Structure 1
Amino acid sequence: MSQARFSIIPGWIVTDPRLKGRDLQVLCLLGRYTDRQGWCVRSQVKMAGQLNCARSTVQLSLDRLVTIGAVEKRAGVSRDGRDTSYWYRVIYDRAVVAEEMAAWDDGEPDDLPNDAVDETGENLGIQSRETVDFRQTPADISAPPADPASAPPADPRSAPYKNDPTLTTQAERRERDARERVINSDLEGQGTVGSAPAEDARVIERAFKRTFPRWPTYVDDSEPEARTAWLGLSSADRSEAADRIEDYIAATKAGPRKHICAFSRYLREKRWEKLPPRDAKPVATHSAEPPFGKGWGVMRLVELIQPPGPMPAPTHFIQKLIDAGGPQAERERLQHQARHGWPKVNAMHAHAADRRGFQVPVEILPLGEGFRQVKRGSPLWEAWRALHERWGRPWVPDGPDWIWMPAGEDPDAAMVEFEKAVKAKDADDDDGENRAAAE
């Protein structure tokens, strides 16, 4: 398989706006090694070597692909309980709509023959080429695994035209007709139909179909709610709403909350109107801080005082140790938490190993005013390391002889004061937002 000619990946992922960096390359590399069910086992180190990048880059891409829903990841376990290379499954198809499945099942029995046999007389469970009507084949059904034998000659007939109405399922036709009735009804309520051309409904719908997928959360958003909010806008508002999407996303990510609302809410509340004019001078929201510097240390501790995020299940061997209870079980639990609980901190450590800094919000940089340098290997250094181990947080990787930590000879007391400073800053930010909203 090392010389595979093809890479099999899901077609829907190509236009997904959540892809970043090398995500598509990593997915294509997995697609070269998958079996018929989409599974393969690959070492992240080998993948990084093939792509000529850092292992951390591959790991971040894989985590993002798992979040998007294009890849499933499972940890491999060796016989002695140690970690091995991960198993990955490329997810080719999304779930088929139940209504469409029911519509396909309504066909006559002769339309779906299941009696094709091979030369040995064994039932293959597939449709024979002579009896199947290719125009009636639903477009969204997953293709069967590729047969290792040579492909049959191409059919001399012309391919069906893509807009042939026989290619549209019954469910799709009902949904399309219902959608056009809703659009026309809404336009009549706005006094549009009768004074505007008859194709206005189709033009508005096409504009919605182009705009909605640009929204970061459109996969989880309610499309009917978004469409209703879209139809409730004037033509000028729809144009401006679509034009300012990227500006709104950038402004939200640069703020303290970073939560992207639903597309319907963005439209209903006309949130683009709260954005500054495009000709306004941009204000820097992040600063590229060098690894192990003061700003880098502030960012790291701000993340670590947060609760751990979702974590993968421990290996079977580690889980048995944890279930046994006792001091060793607690150590294993904390070590597993430290390895997987704070992915952003892990990314910072990986970047630091490659001598790369990290983008730190400028609003948290003042929290480093009370920091001081701690020498690697000193008693204070070891005290900070012990605190991280008791705390179940990842310790800083190998690097320079000095790092920045909150001032004080007692790390426990220093962290208490640091958390107080972070909470006080968050409270000030909330008060400022509330005042701005009231104004």
Structure 2
Amino acid sequence: MSSEATIRRGVRNSRYAAIPNHVFEDSRLSMEARWLLSYLLSKPDNWTVVIGDIIKKGNCGRDKARGMIAELVKFGYAEREQQRADGKFGSSVLVIFDEPRDSHAAEIVGETSGVAFLPQTDLPATVSPSPVPPSPVKSAHSNNLDSANTDCQKEREGARAGSEESDTSVVEDRKRIERDFKAWYRTWPTSLNDSEQAARDAWAALTPEERAACIERTPTFISAVKAIKGKFTFSSVYLKGKAWEKLDDPKSEVALPTVHNPFSRAWMAGMLAILLRPPLTANMPAPTKFQLGQIAQGGDEADAVRIDRLQKYGWPRVNTMHQRAFDRQGVTVPPPLVAISEGFEQVHRDADLAKRWKRAFERRGWPWLPNTGHEWFFFPAGEPDEALAKFSEATARERGDDDAA
């Protein structure tokens, strides 16, 4: 049996969400515990909440949620009841009160809360505890899907308590959730070695919107991981971490390539990664007779012909990038190169360092940056030869992929 305690509202003096002032003024309670008490007191009688709902609504962890509950018990706003069924001990239930049950605690609160404990002019509402036993204990992952009187059920499945139509809708939604889970689970690469139940629990903990996003984006995520030759986590870990959201994180290895403007850090990294590849000499046009004569003479003229042909035909994708730069059109750059480019330094076109970079390009036969009016460029930090060696080492894997378009 689960060790999670189910929370049940005790009988109140009113069916309205009227919360006594001393709930907010009891300085013994932390602000988080006051919020939890206020939240539970705003619910109708016999409202059942699993601890997972508190974690979600309070935007906190499991330990924090348990700590808030412990505060309420310590100062008399909650009492634990051990349920019995067929002569056996059942689930642990918390009964929540709008006044401390401990008389000494009530005196302390009364001293600081003004009229909070004055006798009421009207008789208290004569509401008896509901004869219906509380819902069975659920784990945080189940989100209490079998109970129609929970926050989670209302938010995730849109159930309306006490309605036959609602019950039918809940059954249909649960079937759809299970059907969608099975269809998705078969696509996950590690499903044969995973715990299907752990994945199912993680799937149930997602919102409908998150499940839809997971179904839509998982194929793209799988392709991205394969592209970088990465490893896949267990399906439950993927679901709990909502890893498909990493596709939108520019710093993630599996992020989708994004368009970057000409001469930006990422644009420069994409260009250098292409230039570090061998030139495409097989598709070069044959030299003219004049060029053949210059090549035959050797020396500087032969080198000039070689460099000129490399710059024009060796890296056609870089030439396309340069042409697009005149129209201020960017290119897509893969996330790993974007991350590496963050270490690039800014260099002015007329600076001595820019001139040394230009000479390094010419020695390699690389086409130099076009003059489109930009005054600032970005290069790997350091002197050209050493900086290019480090950049080449850092991007060795990327040069084996299509990393710019």
TM-score (norm 2): 0.36
Greater RCO structure (CA 8 Å; 6+ sep): 2
Looking at CA atoms only, which structure, 1 or 2, has the larger radius of gyration? 2
TM-score (norm 1): 0.33
